[in-house]
A and B are shown apart, each in its own frame.
Chain A
Amino acid sequence: MRPLVLIAEDEPYIVESLTFLIERAGLEVSVARDGALALQAIRNLRPAAVILDIMLPEESGLEVLRHVKGNPVLRATPILVLTARGQENDRRMALALGADAFVTKPFSNRDVVEQTLALVGRSDRPAQGPPR
């Protein structure tokens, strides 16, 4: 089974483009349209990596990040943060909360794919095999 990437993003067209890109790179994709759903998905699906938008409804990307990185079980999940504003503040906050990588919107496709693959590769090593 291919590794699963969770895309947490609320803009439909961005979701569409990311899904296309990640699937083309040979990975499985799941989508969460708001922060609460994203958290739920991370808990249940245990994705190999998460592409997380900062500006999410319900619970913001930063909140999701805080929950994940504060949870001993979920902490290992690598997270790529999409910052729409590209503002230092959000970036710094995300970094402090333990984000693993950043991509600034509008992003370059190759950049997103390479970073995601790198994160997936990293998470592969400790937790080989499919999620239970």
Chain B
Amino acid sequence: MLTPGVVLAISGLYLALLFVLAFATDRMAANGRAKLIRSPVVYTLSLTVYCTSWTFYGAVGSAARNGAEFATIYLGPTLVFAGAFFLLRKLVRISKTHRITSIADFISSRYGKSTRVAAIVTLIALVGTTPYIALQLKSVATSLDILTVGKTLVSAEAHGIFGDTAFWVAASMAAFVIIFGTRNIGADEHHPGVVAAIAFESLVKLAALVAVGLFVVIGLKSAGPDYSGPVWLDPALRGTPPFSAGDPSRWTTMLFLAAAAIVCLPRQFQVAVVEVTDERHLRTASWLFPLYMLLISFFTVPIAVAGLGIVGPDRNPDLYVLTVPLQAGSDLLALAAFIGGFSSATSMVIVACIALSIMISNHMVMPLLLRSRRLDLHQARDLTGLLLAIRRVSIVLILSLGFFYYRFGAQSDALAAIGLISFAAAAQLLPAMVGGIYWRGGTEQGAVAGLLAGFVVWAYTLLLPSLVRVGGAMPGLLTDGPFGIAFLRPEALFYLDGWGSIQHALFWSLSLNVGAYVFVSLASVPKPLERLQSALFVDAFGESPRRTSRAWTGDTAVEDLMALARRIVGPERAYRVFRDYAESEKHDLRELVADARLISFVERQLAGSIGAASARVLVSRVAGGETISLDEVITILDETQQAIEYGRQLEQKSSELEAVAVQLRLANARLKEIDTIKDEFLSHVSHELRTPMTSIRSFAEVLLEGDRLSPQQRDRFARIIYEESQRLTRLLDEILDLNRLQRGDHDLKQARIDPATTAHEAVAAMTGFAFQHGIDLRDEVPDRLGPVLSDPDRLKQVLINLVHNAIKFNDSAGGHVRVSGSVRADRVVLRVEDDGPGVSERDRARIFEKFVRGSSGREGSGLGLAISKQILEAHGGGISVHPAAARGAVFEIDLPLAGAEPPAAPAETAIRPALKGEHA
């Protein structure tokens, strides 16, 4: 028999070992040498905080009572980890991007950094975890009693508070958590010392259980008269519960609960998501963690069978892990088993306390302080100390709550039942969490409604009955319902009778939870920030973290931000944050600008210490109010959307989009160009109209004055007025003509003619004009060129215009103008060549545009060449200008020979609509 002194001394030594280990790890980590702690294996081992003393002792108890059902508690997480690539990786990715500190922070961040949601989640976590902590304290106390006294004493009754082992366990746990869990603030809530201790403990509990298992399987022989093999194979025990499959409905429920718990329990979220240093650790954990669970439960059935065989079904099966070795006389093994159970309990308590204390300080106390405005931010006070103090007080509070629940409530229930109550509470977080990362429609109001509905129903159908049973008060509540209303019986709500209490409670709580979440979400309108966050969470893999929450605007001094950061995370870390930011942005630290990027960066860093909701409130005070506008959110969402769309679509699709974008850009440029052309056109028209009007008005005024004019003057002035009004008319006709041609609604006759004839007529018509100007006009067009489809009048108009210009602008004395023609390929070409000043390089490109006259142009509207061009294009031909061999210019027009298809025609119809707009 082990004496209490020895056991307590060993327990104390074990705790001391944990302290040393955690301390050493923290020191090494501070020097950057704790590589091992950041390995995937240690990460996986830290996950096994899931295997608490409930499962350490309780799995065997469960097997002894209900058969194979014990396996569900491990199978559920196995399924989740088999799919780690999807769910867990997404949780980790989001949490790393947004500097999530706890499950409450995660859910609240998703719903617009809502303080309400964070507080509710924290409340559920606290209420749900308290029985669990009580359970750990109870198991440690009970196992200690068993080991030292040999039978289960109810410690709480045997001793006062200070005589209760559980009290000292709780106290040392509090000390451990306060020392290693609240050493610093921020840094994404990594606690390397704690992680190291947890990982170590996970090995201890596995070793202990495997040792007991091997002992049972190999060493424990039956002493019965007809059977002398291993106890666990004793045929007499074949029919006992461990060999049965159990109740299928309960099986399914527990499988689901365990799967939900592995992500929803605050401490699991802490170790799996918050403490992870590298997303890739999940790769190892996805198979190693299930393997650990398989190993730790491998001997459950043999131990349970052996317990039933040699200890007996009348003793508490939850303690077979201890009592079997004791019964077999192996005190040392029993001690090892005790240490294993002790490890399970302590690791769970430590992690749960850290997770809960972070949540309480960030989501309950800080918001209250911020709201009460007691926290004067302009006062240069370091908030780090305050935050740590809040967390320490929270830890003491959590453990006290657990301790009192244990003292007054946790005595009669089997371990498994209490554990399941906790699991069911954690499961209430599942809809808001999983819904939040896969469904963009979930809103803050929906999350609040779902969480509250689930929590209330859980408390009513599961927590309340367990308290009633323990307390013994109001037993009628369970049998008859409140005020005798059977419809509302907590364990047969709405007449759902005949199911196990867990199945019943889970069905109603989750149905109402999901229902309220979905329907209220659909019925409510999300705030801009909620829409932003929902996009960032749901599309966590779709966009780069650099783009996240760039939602701050406004003027802020870098100094203000720095001062704020210094107060929250301490001066040293604040400096590092800003230095790292400056480095990553390639800025000098002293030249940082408090732009939206820096502000949201700081906000995210602070979120790593005090949670997203509180960080937002604090930063918004410094940065000057909630400055996110709907437009900005939409911009961000659009950016996100674009990124996602781009990723989803195939190369081809994206190049199509690019092509469309290019087209749009071109169209836009074209529109702008047309707009400019339109302005110029109007300005030109106005000029061209004003010039003759000026003369007309001026001479009309002179004529009206009447006196002192000679008859010659009078005639002269009247003639000018007449000529200028004709010029005006011609100008208007030309504008209208050009407009019609460009619209394509011309009245061109399509006659089969020989352009040579037309050319002869044009030259003949201009002979007189040439003579007046002393120009030698020569017709060198052959008699026949070939048939073209053309309007002879229009073609003549073009030629006359060209010859007219050639004569008019020819300034050389005795100048020459030569008209010639030829057939080139399938086209008839006519040329008008002069030896005048020529057309400059610059003018050559734009001379066919409206109102452009050669630099030396004097008369004419400037529309002649533009009209010529339109006429020729309407015929499927073209016009161009080249420098002549010696001096002057060659205007060349071409027309397609009839019979040959006019190739330019289709292209022409395509261009026309664009040209139409020029006059609009």
Q: Do chains A and B touch in the complex (CB under 8 A)?
A: yes
Assembled-state Cα–Cα distance A105/B688 (Å): 11
Name the interface residues of B664-722: CB closer than 8 Å to any CB of A: 683, 686-687, 690-699, 701-702, 713, 720
Q: Which of B691, B702, B723 lies in contact with A20, CB distance below 8 A?
A: B702
Task: Please give, as numbers and ranges, the residues of chain B lying within 8 Å of A14 by CB-CB distance.
Answer: 691, 694-695, 698
Q: Which residue of B lies closest to A104 (CB)?
A: B690
With A10-B858, A16-B720, A106-B693 known as contacts, the answer to whether A21 contacts B687 (CB < 8 A) is no
Assembled-state Cα–Cα distance A16/B723 (Å): 14
How close is A4's CB to chain B, nearest CB, in angstroms? Answer: 21
Most chain A Cβ neighbours within 10 Å, of B683, B698, B701? B698
A124 within 8 A of B: no
Tell whether, in the assembled complex, residue A108 and residue B701 are in contact, meaning their CB atoms are under 8 Å apart: yes
How close is B859's CB to chain A, nearest CB, in angstroms? Answer: 9
Assembled-state Cα–Cα distance A16/B698 (Å): 10
B412 within 8 A of A: no
Would you call the interface of chain B mostly helix, strand, loop, or mixed? helix
Tell whether, in the assembled complex, residue A107 and residue B687 are in contact, meaning their CB atoms are under 8 Å apart: no
A52 within 8 A of B: no
B372 within 8 A of A: no
How close is B871's CB to chain A, nearest CB, in angstroms? Answer: 28
A109 within 8 A of B: yes
Name the interface residues of A85-104: CB closer than 8 Å to any CB of B: 85-87
A11 within 8 A of B: yes
Task: Please give, as numbers and ranges, the residues of chain A lying within 8 Å of B697 by CB-CB distance.
Answer: 106-108
Q: Which residue of B lies closest to A24 (CB)?
A: B708
Most chain A Cβ neighbours within 10 Å, of B694, B697, B701? B694
Tell whether, in the assembled complex, residue B702 and residue A109 are in contact, meaning their CB atoms are under 8 Å apart: yes
Task: Please give, as numbers and ranges, the residues of chain A lying within 8 Å of B686 by CB-CB distance.
Answer: 84-85
A17 within 8 A of B: yes
Task: Please give, as numbers and ranges, the residues of chain A lying within 8 Å of B855 by CB-CB distance.
Answer: 57-58
Q: Which residue of A lies closest to B858 (CB)?
A: A10
Assembled-state Cα–Cα distance A109/B696 (Å): 11
Q: Which residue of B lies closest to A83 (CB)?
A: B690
How close is B725's CB to chain A, nearest CB, in angstroms? Answer: 12
Most chain A Cβ neighbours within 10 Å, of B683, B690, B713? B690
Task: Please give, as numbers and ranges, the residues of chain A lying within 8 Å of B856 by CB-CB distance.
Answer: 57
Q: Which residue of A lies closest to B720 (CB)?
A: A13
Tell whether, in the assembled complex, residue B690 and residue A13 are in contact, meaning their CB atoms are under 8 Å apart: no
Tell whether, in the assembled complex, residue B695 and residue A17 are in contact, meaning their CB atoms are under 8 Å apart: yes
Assembled-state Cα–Cα distance A108/B694 (Å): 9
With A13-B724, A57-B856 known as contacts, the answer to whether A106 contacts B687 (CB < 8 A) is no
Q: Which residue of A lies closest to B683 (CB)?
A: A85
How close is B743's CB to chain A, nearest CB, in angstroms? Answer: 27
Task: Please give, as numbers and ranges, the residues of chain A lying within 8 Å of B692 by CB-CB distance.
Answer: 13
Q: Which residue of A lies closest to B724 (CB)?
A: A13
Task: Please give, as numbers and ranges, the residues of chain B lying within 8 Å of A5 by CB-CB distance.
Answer: none
Assembled-state Cα–Cα distance A20/B698 (Å): 10
Task: Please give, as numbers and ranges, the residues of chain B lying within 8 Å of A20 by CB-CB distance.
Answer: 702, 713
With A10-B858, A13-B720, A13-B724 known as contacts, the answer to whether A84 contacts B698 (CB < 8 A) is no
Name the interface residues of B561-606: CB closer than 8 Å to any CB of A: none
Task: Please give, as numbers and ranges, the residues of chain A lying within 8 Å of B701 by CB-CB distance.
Answer: 108-110
Give the A-B contact count at a CB cut-off of 8 A: 63
Assembled-state Cα–Cα distance A95/B713 (Å): 36
Task: Please give, as numbers and ranges, the residues of chain B lying within 8 Å of A87 by CB-CB distance.
Answer: 683
Q: Which residue of B lies closest to A20 (CB)?
A: B702
Interface mask (A49-88 → B, CB under 8 Å = 1, otherwise 0): 0000001011000000000000000000000000011110
Tell whether, in the assembled complex, residue B693 and residue A85 are in contact, meaning their CB atoms are under 8 Å apart: no
Tell whether, in the assembled complex, residue A85 and residue B691 are in contact, meaning their CB atoms are under 8 Å apart: no
Q: Which of B694, B702, B724 lies in contact with A105, CB distance below 8 A?
A: B694
Q: Which residue of A lies closest to B705 (CB)?
A: A109
Tell whether, in the assembled complex, residue A107 and residue B694 are in contact, meaning their CB atoms are under 8 Å apart: yes
With A16-B720, A57-B855, A85-B683 known as contacts, the answer to whether A107 contacts B698 (CB < 8 A) is yes
Task: Please give, as numbers and ranges, the residues of chain B lying within 8 Å of A58 by CB-CB distance.
Answer: 855
Assembled-state Cα–Cα distance A109/B693 (Å): 13
Assembled-state Cα–Cα distance A61/B857 (Å): 17
Interface mask (B849-865 → A, CB under 8 Å = 1, otherwise 0): 00000011110000000
Interface mask (B722-765 → A, CB under 8 Å = 1, otherwise 0): 01100000000000000000000000000000000000000000
Task: Please give, as numbers and ranges, the residues of chain A lying within 8 Å of B691 by CB-CB distance.
Answer: 11, 14, 84, 105
Assembled-state Cα–Cα distance A112/B697 (Å): 13
Assembled-state Cα–Cα distance A18/B691 (Å): 13
Assembled-state Cα–Cα distance A84/B696 (Å): 14
Assembled-state Cα–Cα distance A68/B666 (Å): 44
Tell whether, in the assembled complex, residue A55 and residue B687 are in contact, meaning their CB atoms are under 8 Å apart: yes
Name the interface residues of B385-409: CB closer than 8 Å to any CB of A: none
Q: Which of B690, B699, B723, B857 lies in contact with A17, CB distance below 8 A?
A: B699
Tell whether, in the assembled complex, residue B687 and residue A13 are in contact, meaning their CB atoms are under 8 Å apart: no
Task: Please give, as numbers and ranges, the residues of chain A lying within 8 Å of B724 by CB-CB distance.
Answer: 13
Assembled-state Cα–Cα distance A85/B688 (Å): 10
Q: Which residue of A lies closest to B693 (CB)?
A: A106
Task: Please give, as numbers and ranges, the residues of chain A lying within 8 Å of B699 by CB-CB distance.
Answer: 13, 17
Q: Which residue of B lies closest to A15 (CB)?
A: B695
Assembled-state Cα–Cα distance A64/B706 (Å): 36
Tell whether, in the assembled complex, residue A106 and residue B696 are in contact, meaning their CB atoms are under 8 Å apart: yes
Assembled-state Cα–Cα distance A17/B697 (Å): 10
Task: Please give, as numbers and ranges, the residues of chain B lying within 8 Å of A110 by CB-CB distance.
Answer: 701
Task: Please give, as numbers and ranges, the residues of chain A lying within 8 Å of B857 by CB-CB distance.
Answer: 57
Task: Please give, as numbers and ranges, the residues of chain B lying within 8 Å of A16 by CB-CB distance.
Answer: 695, 720
Task: Please give, as numbers and ranges, the residues of chain B lying within 8 Å of A109 by CB-CB distance.
Answer: 698, 701-702
Task: Please give, as numbers and ranges, the residues of chain B lying within 8 Å of A107 by CB-CB distance.
Answer: 694, 697-698
Name the interface residues of B174-199: CB closer than 8 Å to any CB of A: none
Tell whether, in the assembled complex, residue B858 and residue A13 are in contact, meaning their CB atoms are under 8 Å apart: no
How close is A16's CB to chain B, nearest CB, in angstroms? Answer: 7
Q: Which of A11, A55, A57, A85 lies in contact with B695, CB distance below 8 A?
A: A11
With A106-B697, A108-B701, A109-B701 given, can you name 7 additional A-B contacts, CB distance below 8 Å?
A11-B691, A17-B695, A55-B687, A57-B855, A57-B858, A84-B687, A84-B694
Give 11 pairs: A residue, B residue, CB < 8 Å, sorted on A: A14-B695, A18-B698, A20-B713, A84-B687, A84-B691, A85-B686, A86-B690, A105-B691, A105-B693, A105-B694, A106-B697
The 7 closest A-B pairs by CB, nearest first: A13-B695, A17-B698, A106-B694, A106-B697, A105-B694, A106-B693, A109-B701
Residues of B within 8 A of A (CB): 683, 686-687, 690-699, 701-702, 713, 720, 723-724, 855-858
